[in-house]
A and B are shown apart, each in its own frame.
Chain A
Amino acid sequence: MINYILKRLLGMIPVLLGVTVLSFAIINLAPGKFSTLDQAMNPKVSPEYQMRLVKAFNLDKPLPVRYWLWLKSSICFDFGRSFSDNRLIMDKIAERLPVTVGINVLSLLFVFLVAIPIGVKAATKAGGGFDTVTTYFSFLLLAAPTFWLALLLMQFFCIQLGWLPISGIHSLDFEYFSPLRKVWDISWHLILPVFVSSLGGFAVISRYMRSSMMEALNQPYIYTARAKGLPQSQVVYKHALRNASLPIVTMIGLSIPGLLGGSVIFESIFALPGLGQLFFQAVMARDMPLIMAEVVLGAVLTMLGNLIADISYAYVDPRIRYK
């Protein structure tokens, strides 16, 4: 198993190289240069200053040379400094990572805690009232754009009812709160973002759960479980669920990169200081080093997600063993 994991980790290196080459090229092909974006219209910026910027960030060198320079420093986890505020990229990412990871982990948990029981229940009573209602509801959720739902929910819960804060990660006077109050304040602010970011996954996972559960419940070993006298709950949750959970494990692996992409949208809507928002701002400012660092992070997360899914397979299903 250890050997398998090491082999997979080594296999990631060429993929990661490919990802960086492509993204480096695409970003540089995109119109608009950092050196001309803010400064061109600003009379206070002299052409000399512009030249200094260009030199400082090696923007006068040809593309392959710049890629090589970037690669050399990135290998040592030095992603350089941001064009926008000259701070270290690693620092900028590190301070925003907890928000994004926190929200995504919470929403994943929420999705699994709610979607799996719903899918299971719908499968055991397939064709019944509960199944019909959840089927329509999940198609509705799949069809509705998240940003639109987010705005509707904000309008309803934050403005009309005034129950939840509308944006941000904490209140203005946060620094003066007691530790307990701080935790409460953050949780309060996270309810809506976590809920909204779960909705899509929620619909997909409950559908997948339903169909793979229905398949598992028709397998011969389910008759055995019933013939043994096990109560329905154990037949479903012990004997069928574990067999039905393989596709769900795949979904987790596949949903990890999607989470980072989704963060760009809802962090912008809810004004949350996370990686998604940072990425969005970086793209708008043509902040090359920052964009590259985020792309690398996204690629690493994607590959790790797949690796985790493959390892979990072996845990869930003993017939799968890696050499």
Chain B
Amino acid sequence: MEKLLEVKNLKVDFQLDDRVIHAVDGVDLRLDKNETVVLAGESGSGKTITALALTRILPRNARIVSGEVLLEGKNILDLEERQLSLIRGARIAYIFQEPTSYLNPVYTIGEQITEVIILHQDKLRKVAQVQAKKLLEAVQIGEVNRVFSSYPHQLSGGMNQRVFIAMSLACKPGLLICDEPTTSLDVTIEAQILKLLIRLKKEMGFSLLFITHNLAIANKIASRIYVMYQGKIVEEGLTAKIFNDPQHFHTKELITAYQKIGKL
């Protein structure tokens, strides 16, 4: 398989008033083209920060201490802000946890999708708007025109997540990073969104880095799983192997949790 992304020894620190927290402490990851990899772990284990660090969109008080993020062999953490911003949204795109608060409340859905098309593809506004409406159709939104001119607060969470997917895939990125994209949604919507993601992945052929604490999802979609605990990758392997023969106690915890929920 052809390698798309390789993360080597990534370390991210948080500078608090009186101490330093090593949120990401030497993470190594690998992702092939067209592959779906799950990064699992409990809340606070450093999954989200790892994801944000890949394109340097960290919070103000976080700092990348060391490490390399190789995108098709080229270290993108070395790049100037300007060049890196050409990669964000165009080659690496994100989907976040709560779509309604991750969409800007004061701009219409249409504007927020159109904006990213104009930015990366240098298209006229009219052309970009037509393209944005096509994207909304592709994520199975019925009343495209109504949604296009709506504001995020006028739509449901599931609808906003569809919008978000359309927005993130607008420039056909090679890598889509989903940070718990269904955690804030109810189960029926969760299943719909996952199905949609899987279908779009087949159609468009991007790699998927899926962050979750829910191993049930991981079991369904991932070819490989990384388990993260306290800022470190504590276990990695093919999905079947992780489920059949977990080594680390945190992996076992996550699996038992998922089985317990299954029994409820």
What residues make up the interface of A, taking CB atoms closer than 8 Å to B? 126, 218-221, 223-232, 239, 242-243, 316-319
B115 at the interface (CB under 8 A from A): yes
Task: Pick from B59, B85, B103, B167: contact of A230, CB below 8 A.
Answer: B85
- For window 89-130 of B, CB contacts with A under 8 Å fall at 89-90, 93-94, 96, 98, 101-108, 115-116, 119-120
Inter-chain contacts of B151 with A (CB < 8 A): 318-319
Task: Pick from B90, B103, B105: contact of A317, CB below 8 A.
Answer: B105
The reply to whether A227 and B89 contact each other, CB–CB distance below 8 Å, is: yes
CB distance from B79 to the nearest CB of A (A): 12
The reply to whether A223 and B57 contact each other, CB–CB distance below 8 Å, is: yes
Q: What 3 A-B pairs come out closest when comparing CB atoms? A: A229-B89, A229-B88, A228-B89
CB distance from A137 to the nearest CB of B (A): 23
The reply to whether B85 and A229 contact each other, CB–CB distance below 8 Å, is: yes
A232-B81, A319-B153 known; A227 vs B105 contact (CB < 8 Å): no
The reply to whether A220 and B88 contact each other, CB–CB distance below 8 Å, is: no
What residues make up the interface of B, taking CB atoms closer than 8 Å to A? 52, 55, 57, 59-60, 81-82, 85-90, 93-94, 96, 98, 101-108, 115-116, 119-120, 151, 153, 167
A48 to B114, CA, bound (A): 81
Task: Pick from B90, B106, B119: contact of A316, CB below 8 A.
Answer: B106
CB distance from A321 to the nearest CB of B (A): 10
Which of A219, A220, A221, A228 gathers the greatest number of chain B CB atoms within 10 Å? A228
CB distance from B166 to the nearest CB of A (A): 13
9 more A-B contacts (CB under 8 A) besides A227-B55, A229-B89, A318-B105? Answer: A220-B101, A227-B57, A227-B94, A228-B88, A228-B167, A230-B119, A243-B104, A318-B151, A318-B153
CB distance from B142 to the nearest CB of A (A): 22
Inter-chain contacts of A227 with B (CB < 8 A): 55, 57, 88-89, 93-94
Beta-carbon nearest neighbor of B108 in chain A: A318
A221-B101, A319-B153 known; A228 vs B106 contact (CB < 8 Å): no
The reply to whether A243 and B105 contact each other, CB–CB distance below 8 Å, is: yes
A227-B57, A228-B116 known; A243 vs B86 contact (CB < 8 Å): no
A230-B119, A243-B106, A316-B106 known; A219 vs B101 contact (CB < 8 Å): yes
The reply to whether B87 and A318 contact each other, CB–CB distance below 8 Å, is: no
CB distance from B111 to the nearest CB of A (A): 10
CB distance from A105 to the nearest CB of B (A): 26
The reply to whether B116 and A242 contact each other, CB–CB distance below 8 Å, is: no
Inter-chain contacts of A242 with B (CB < 8 A): 106-107
Q: List 13 A-B contacts (CB under 8 A).
A: A219-B101, A220-B98, A221-B103, A223-B94, A223-B96, A224-B96, A227-B93, A228-B116, A229-B90, A231-B85, A243-B106, A318-B106, A318-B151
CB distance from B100 to the nearest CB of A (A): 9
Which of A224, A243, A316, A317 gathers the greatest number of chain B CB atoms within 10 Å? A224
A316 to B90, CA, bound (A): 29
A229 to B56, CA, bound (A): 11
A230 to B85, CA, bound (A): 7
Inter-chain contacts of B116 with A (CB < 8 A): 228-229
Which of B85, B87, B116 gathers the greatest number of chain A CB atoms within 10 Å? B85
The reply to whether B115 and A230 contact each other, CB–CB distance below 8 Å, is: yes
A240 to B28, CA, bound (A): 34
A123 to B202, CA, bound (A): 43
Which of A221, A227, A239, A317 gathers the greatest number of chain B CB atoms within 10 Å? A227
Which of B57, B85, B106 gathers the greatest number of chain A CB atoms within 10 Å? B106
A220-B96, A318-B151, A319-B151 known; A226 vs B103 contact (CB < 8 Å): no
Inter-chain contacts of A218 with B (CB < 8 A): 59
Inter-chain contacts of A126 with B (CB < 8 A): 60
Inter-chain contacts of A219 with B (CB < 8 A): 101
The reply to whether B153 and A221 contact each other, CB–CB distance below 8 Å, is: no
Beta-carbon nearest neighbor of B57 in chain A: A226
CB distance from B108 to the nearest CB of A (A): 8
A319 to B105, CA, bound (A): 8
Inter-chain contacts of B105 with A (CB < 8 A): 221, 243, 317-319
The reply to whether B104 and A239 contact each other, CB–CB distance below 8 Å, is: yes
Inter-chain contacts of A226 with B (CB < 8 A): 57, 88
Inter-chain contacts of A230 with B (CB < 8 A): 85, 89, 115, 119
CB distance from A274 to the nearest CB of B (A): 38
Beta-carbon nearest neighbor of B151 in chain A: A318
Beta-carbon nearest neighbor of B55 in chain A: A227
Inter-chain contacts of A239 with B (CB < 8 A): 104, 107
CB distance from B193 to the nearest CB of A (A): 17
